Chain A
Amino acid sequence: MDEWVKEQLARGFADFEGTTLTGAIPVKTEFLNQLIARFLAQGGQAPSPAADLRPLARFVRSATVEAEPGVIILRFEIGV
C-alpha cells in the first residue's frame, strides 16, 4: 500500500480531488524540546524525508500557530 500512496503522491493526488481536512494539533513544548535536542545531537542535520513532500504544500489552504503555556497549537486546513 506504501507503493500505492507514493504513486498517488507522484500524481499530485489527482484521484482525491475535493478532499478537505481541518485540524488542530496541540504539541507539548516538552516534545518540541526533545525534537530540538535530537536535531542538535545530529549536528543540525534534518533527516531526509522518504518522499518529496514539497508538492503537497499547494494543498495547504491555511496554517497558523498559537502559543499557550506549555503547548504550541498548530491549526490547518487542507483542500485537494
Chain B
Amino acid sequence: MIEVIREEARSGFPHLAGARVAGTVRVTQAALNDALRRVRQVPPGLAIEVRGGNEIRIRYGVFQTAMVIVEDVALDGGAPQVRLALSSGLVAFGLRAILRGPALRVDGRYLTVDLGALDHIAGMRRYWPLLRRARLRTTPGQVHIEFEAAV
C-alpha cells in the first residue's frame, strides 16, 4: 500500500489532481539552528538569531552580521530559492570565502540559499514543483513560512 502511495508521489500525484494545501508554518530560531547544524554545506558553529522585520543576525566565530530576508521566495518552477540582502560588500566578500557548494552562493549584495541543492532535504525534490507561492516573514525568535501548494 505504501508502494502505491510512493508511486503516486513519483508520478506527480495524478490521482490527486486539484488538491490544494495552504498555510503558515512557524518555526522557532532554536529549531532552525538545530536543523542548520545538520546541513553539510553550513560551516560548523554558524548560528542565526531571528529578529523582527525579516532581519536575522548570523554568527560564525567572531564574525557577526545582519541580513534581511527577501519576503517573496523565488520558485521559477523548481526548488525554492531564498534570498537575503547582506549588510555590506565586505560581508559578501567574507561569505564567499567561507561558503562551500552550490546551495549557498553570494551574488552582489545578496546571499541565495538554493533549497534544491541542500542534500538534507533532497527527498523534497518531487514536491517543489507543487509550490505555487511562498513568503517568509519574521517575528523575534520565529520565522513564518506562508505557502500555497497545489497539484
Contact = CB atoms under 8 A, between A and B. Distances in A.
Given A16-B26, A20-B24, A47-B1, A1 B19 contact: no
Interface in B1-35: 1-5, 8, 15-28, 30-31, 34-35
A20 B23 contact: yes
Contacts of A3: 38
Size category, A interface: 20 to 34
A44 B58 CA distance: 52
A38 B3 CA distance: 9
A38 B120 contact: no
A4 B118 CA distance: 15
A70 to B, nearest CB: 11
Contact of B1 (A17, A21, A23, A39): A39
B142 interface: yes
A6 to B, nearest CB: 12
Interface residues of B, number: 29
A38 B4 contact: yes
A27 B16 CA distance: 5
B38 A1 contact: yes
A54 B22 CA distance: 23
A8 B28 CA distance: 11
Contacts of B22: 21-23
Interface string A1-32: 11110011000000111111111111110110
Interface string B41-80: 0000000000000000000000000000000000000000
A56 interface: no
Interface of A: 1-4, 7-8, 15-28, 30-31, 34-35, 38-39, 42, 46-47, 78, 80
